[in-house]
Amino acid sequence: MLVLRIQTGGLTSYLKVGDPKCTESSINGFRGATGLALIPLHIVGETWANIVSEYTSDPTATTFNDYLTDTYVDDNAGSAQRAR
């Protein structure tokens, strides 16, 4: 789902090496987003807030960030994902 959201959200150019939109910051933001699955649940929210503030200054990323927050980061979203 995460990759599909990136594709449908028009964010692929931010991860394509050689594209002017592809920067170290955009790649690190993506790495941070995927890394959320590897950290303890009690620090996911704070970690994601730090990732967003540090690496995602482009307005195009807002839709992706909101999706990730609503689906995986918010307190209620975590329990819904674990129940699946």
Sketch the domain layout of the chain as residue ranges: 2-83
- The model's pLDDT over 58-84, given as tens digits with 9 standing for 90+, comes to 777 787 888 888 888 887 555 545 444
Report field, pTM of the whole predicted structure over 0.95: no
pLDDT of the residue at 76: 58
Is residue 21 within 8 A of residue 14, CB to CB? The reply is yes
Our CA dihedral for 5, 44, 80, 30, rounded to 10 degrees, sits at: 10
- Count of CB atoms within 10 A of residue 25's CB? 14
- pLDDT of 13 higher than 90: no
- The model's pLDDT over 21-55, given as tens digits with 9 standing for 90+, comes to 777 877 888 888 889 989 998 999 999 999 888 87
What token pair was written down for 5? 């959201």
pLDDT of the residue at 50: 92
